[in-house]
Structure 1
Amino acid sequence: MSELRLFRTDTLNGGMAEVVPRLAAVEADVQGLVEAHMETMLGVRFLASEYSTGPVHGGRIDSLGLDENGAPVVVEFKRGTDAGVIHQGLFYLAWLMDHRAEFERLVRDRLGATAAAQVLWSAPRVICIAGDFTRYDVHAVREHRRSIDLVRYRYFGSDHIALEEVASVTGSTAPRPRLRATGAAQRRTAPTAMGELAQALDEVLLGFGGGVTRVQRKQYAAYQRVQNFACVCPPQQTKLLVYLKADPRQVDLVPGYTRDVTTIGHHGTGDLELQLRSEADLERAQDLLRLSYAAA
């Protein structure tokens, strides 16, 4: 995190002092903090800490969770730089994929039967949180088929912690089907105006950065960094619904375009509903989309 420098202003004397970043005293400090606030910091519901993989496998997973889209998450922590953190996370993820019923029982016990029935096994994730990563780590994650996020942390003073996404790749255990249509079927599946708008929105959201991934669920497509920042529902006849991680109280709501859905049930995550009906709507939504991206 050498690029980030934090300064404290002294309003009384008009001076300024740099807040020097530091690592945790021990690995357990950052692990305990993240586990206590995992949903806020990572968009992941916490399930278990130091989860035993049994006497045969002989290991302990630092943290287990379920992300906003229902995907299983293995979280591994390292105080500083450790070349083995990625392989350790993948090792435990392989165990998890072979013990799906055990994980679903854990989800059922912690979050209920509905969450357990909706676990998204096609998109399991590993999140590695460490003091730093090497260029070899960043290259290594790009060579794997799994979804891996490398997140660097730093403490600033006694009451601030920063998380920085270093690298993020997406993977899937299920191949994407290739659909081909001919004749009348091809005409039926031709892109509609809303379908073309959805494709344009997809290009915009994926274009925000190399760390953006898309996770497809039946009810919506989630665009995420470490957390979701936009959830897009299937196109309707006249509009496209998008849910953003933006505070509706900080937005000038426009009827028919933006809506506060904090207390209204909806698919996906995010409290601000965006209704797109045209390319012009998408163009004027750029600031809101970027605001949500920055908050994720």
Structure 2
Amino acid sequence: MSGLKLFNTKGGVTEVVPRLAEAEADVQCLVEAHMETLLGVRFLASEYSTGPVHGGRIDSLGLDENGSPVVVEYKRGVDAGVINQGLFYLSWLMDHRAEFEHLVRDRLGPTVASQVLWTGPRLVCIAGDFTRYDVHAVREHRRSIDLVRYRLFGNDLLGLEAVASVSGKTQGARRARRGPVARAAADAQGASTAELANAVDEALLGLGDGVNRVERKQYRAYQRVRNFACVCAPQRSKLLIYLKVDPKHVDIVPGFTRDVSGLGHHGTGDLEVQLRTPRDVERAQDLFRASYASA
């Protein structure tokens, strides 16, 4: 169980005691109603049938911010079977890609359906708690798996905590692979911009365990349960990074940071950070950490 304690400071200091939901369905309904806000995942379907042969129902199906399919499984408390159950459904999903894309087309339209990213389907397990064996098991697996602990506080507060988040690849492999953003930096801008992109990559991957790097054509996303940074292909002599930081809480510095709330851009995030030199990477470290903490 998490060591986090929550206190109400109105009229003194009173601890708000955490509790589990009365039923698994209560957690599922709450998350499905606010899935994009809580997990960065667009909700597609609930209790999705895998047909008479497999004879199961996937708790929730969704599509994350980068276009990756997501299976979400819920348990009220601790359940040793939640990971294996979710992996079973994830395997089913990989064998039924056309069916999933048809579902996306019906819910979100043909353009979104044509951009589904099948290189990194994800399993998100939300439960009252997990054992150390669960955490070890997901770190040994070759799939993208997120273990998320929930707690209810009082009548109005929900807490979500990322217990483990793995991409199914070793960090070394992630560091070595060069995606479209890195290739664009090296090919179009030369060594200096390529080195800048590498420095950003090192900084973002080094923020903590379980950072997953997702390559899209126009950007590279860094995510825990949700995206926390998106690095776009270089523009002339600079890199643009979009962070999940509220621009209202940042001192905007022209030429370094910009509020892009409501403006169209590749990737996700409302704060744009412009990097031109290694010193800019150092200046951005606190913003990187704040965005990582929000994910």
Q: TM-score range by the shorter chain?
A: over 0.9
Counterpart of 1:7, as a letter, is F
What does 1:73-88 correspond to in 2, within 5 Å? Answer: 73-88=70-85
2:9 corresponds to 1:9:
yes
SS for the counterpart of 2:282 is helix
Aligned equivalents of 2:111 and 2:164: distance in 1?
A: 32
What does 1:17-56 correspond to in 2, within 5 Å? Answer: 17-56=14-53
Are the equivalent residues in 1 in contact too, given 2:189–2:236 (CA < 8 A)? no
Which stretches in structure 1 are left out of the alignment for 5+ residues? 180-186
Give me the TM-score of the superposition, normalised by structure 2: 0.92
List per-residue Cα deviations over 1:226-245 (Å, max 9, x = no partner).
00000001223300000001
Aligned equivalents of 2:26 and 2:59: distance in 1?
A: 12
Aligned equivalents of 2:78 and 2:72: distance in 1?
A: 16
Aligned equivalents of 1:96 and 1:2: distance in 2?
A: 32
What does 1:79-118 correspond to in 2, within 5 Å? Answer: 79-118=76-115
- How far residue 152 of structure 1 moved from its aligned partner, in angstroms, is 0.3
SS for the counterpart of 2:13 is strand
Identity of aligned residues (%): 74
Aligned equivalents of 2:188 and 2:249: distance in 1?
A: 40
List per-residue Cα deviations over 1:108-133 (Å, max 9, x = no partner).
00001111000000010000000000
- How far residue 190 of structure 1 moved from its aligned partner, in angstroms, is 9.9
Aligned equivalents of 1:189 and 1:294: distance in 2?
A: 33
Are the equivalent residues in 2 in contact too, given 1:168–1:212 (CA < 8 A)? yes
2:245 corresponds to 1:249:
no
Runs (4 or more) in structure 1 with deviation over 3 Å come to 175-179, 187-191
**Counterpart of 1:267?**
266
Aligned equivalents of 2:190 and 2:207: distance in 1?
A: 24
Counterpart of 2:127, as a letter, is A
List per-residue Cα deviations over 1:238-261 (Å, max 9, x = no partner).
000000011112212122111111
List per-residue Cα deviations over 1:46-77 (Å, max 9, x = no partner).
00000000011100000000000000000000
**Counterpart of 1:171?**
168
List per-residue Cα deviations over 1:181-229 (Å, max 9, x = no partner).
xxxxxx9799521110110011110111002111111111100110000
2:267 corresponds to 1:292:
no
What does 1:103-252 correspond to in 2, within 5 Å? Answer: 103-171=100-168, 192-252=191-251
Are the equivalent residues in 2 in contact too, given 1:194–1:237 (CA < 8 A)? no
Gap change, CA 1:96 and 1:19, over 3 Å in 2: same
Aligned equivalents of 1:37 and 1:167: distance in 2?
A: 22
Aligned equivalents of 2:2 and 2:85: distance in 1?
A: 26
**Counterpart of 1:184?**
none
Are the equivalent residues in 2 in contact too, given 1:7–1:19 (CA < 8 A)? yes
Aligned equivalents of 2:168 and 2:107: distance in 1?
A: 26
- How far residue 159 of structure 1 moved from its aligned partner, in angstroms, is 0.3
**Counterpart of 1:182?**
none
Are the equivalent residues in 2 in contact too, given 1:71–1:120 (CA < 8 A)? yes
Which stretches in structure 2 are left out of the alignment for 5+ residues? 179-185
Aligned equivalents of 2:257 and 2:57: distance in 1?
A: 45
Larger Rg over CA atoms: 1
Aligned equivalents of 1:112 and 1:253: distance in 2?
A: 36
SS for the counterpart of 1:274 is strand
* Bigger Cα displacement from structure 2, 255-264 vs 26-35: 255-264
* Bigger Cα displacement from structure 2, 52-61 vs 245-254: 245-254
Are the equivalent residues in 1 in contact too, given 2:63–2:70 (CA < 8 A)? yes
Are the equivalent residues in 2 in contact too, given 1:195–1:235 (CA < 8 A)? no
Give me the TM-score of the superposition, normalised by structure 1: 0.92
Counterpart of 2:91, as a letter, is A
Aligned residues: 284
Gap change, CA 1:193 and 1:86, over 3 Å in 2: same
Are the equivalent residues in 2 in contact too, given 1:194–1:236 (CA < 8 A)? no
2:278 corresponds to 1:279:
yes
Counterpart of 1:30, as a letter, is V
Aligned equivalents of 1:58 and 1:285: distance in 2?
A: 50
**Counterpart of 1:62?**
59
Aligned equivalents of 2:177 and 2:41: distance in 1?
A: 31
